[in-house]
Amino acid sequence: MKLYDTPLAPNPRRVRWFLAEKGVQDIEIVTLNLLEGTHKQPEYLEKAGLPNVPMLEMDDGTCITESVAICRYLESRYPEPNMFGRTPEETAVIEMWMRRAEMLVATPFMLGVRHSHPALAALEKQNPTVAEYNKETGLRALKVLDRRLAESEWLAADRITIADIVAFVGIDFGRMIRLKPPEELAHVNRWAEAMRARPAAAAGMPKAVA
């Protein structure tokens, strides 16, 4: 299998972290340069269908994008340690928190960065109003995670799961514009330090801002 990757973007970081948690080392990594538009070249688009990264190319030639879809497939190929749920009930709770993390926090943080970081102006037309709205939205939503983490060490289960990876990578991407959880959100900050301390974290950290 081949994973088409780019170092700084948050969605590829999710997959790299996921692979590191599972200790998977037999997937070839193909690095793309988004600023040079390599993800928009015909050869790539023919496989991916959209100029999206990451993309996983399976051994039979099947290609999938979308980071969570890739991680779900990898979970089926490398089932331990479990990251998506062991029982129907646990799977549903993890799915719920993953969706909340993505919609309430990760997506707003990522849009805040995309529409305000100078280097990313090469990728799309930036809108300062969109940036400010999403930064404020994401910061407010962190209170939801803080309440959850006041009663649980991890976001969705008794161990790290895909929900934690989705939430943390989205939040950490905000460091590119000095956007971070307020100090008063003690539980979010405690959890974030635990995430950074994990051995697998290095795989999900972009060297430019780590």
pLDDT of 73 over the 90 cut? yes
Instruction: Specify whether the CB–CB gap between 94 and 108 falls below 8 A.
Output: no
For residue 132, the one-letter residue type is E
76 DSSP 8-state letter? H
CATH class of 2-77: alpha beta
Give the pLDDT confidence score for residue 209 in this predicted structure.
38
Among 5-9, 138-142, 181-185, 198-202, the range scoring the smallest mean pLDDT is 5-9
The CATH fold of domain 88-198:
Glutathione S-transferase Yfyf (Class Pi); Chain A, domain 2 (1.20.1050)
8 Å CB contact between 34 and 94: no
Label the pairing between strands 55-57 and 28-31. unpaired
Where along the chain do its domains lie?
Answer: 2-77, 88-198
What's the chain's average pLDDT? 93
Q: What is the pLDDT of residue 206?
A: 66
Angle formed by the axes of helices 162-173 and 128-149, nearest 10°? 140
| Beta pairing, strands 28-31 & 2-5 | parallel
Task: Give strand pairing partners of 64.
Answer: 56
Q: 31: which strand partners?
A: 5
Task: Write out the H or E segment, with its range, that includes residue 29.
Answer: strand 28-31
Farthest CA pair distance, the chain: 50
210 pLDDT higher than 70: no
pTM for the full model? 0.92
Query: In 10 A of CB 124, how many CB atoms?
Result: 9
Mean pLDDT of 162-166: 98
| Structure tokens belonging to residue 45 | 């688009």
> Length of the chain in residues, anyone?
210
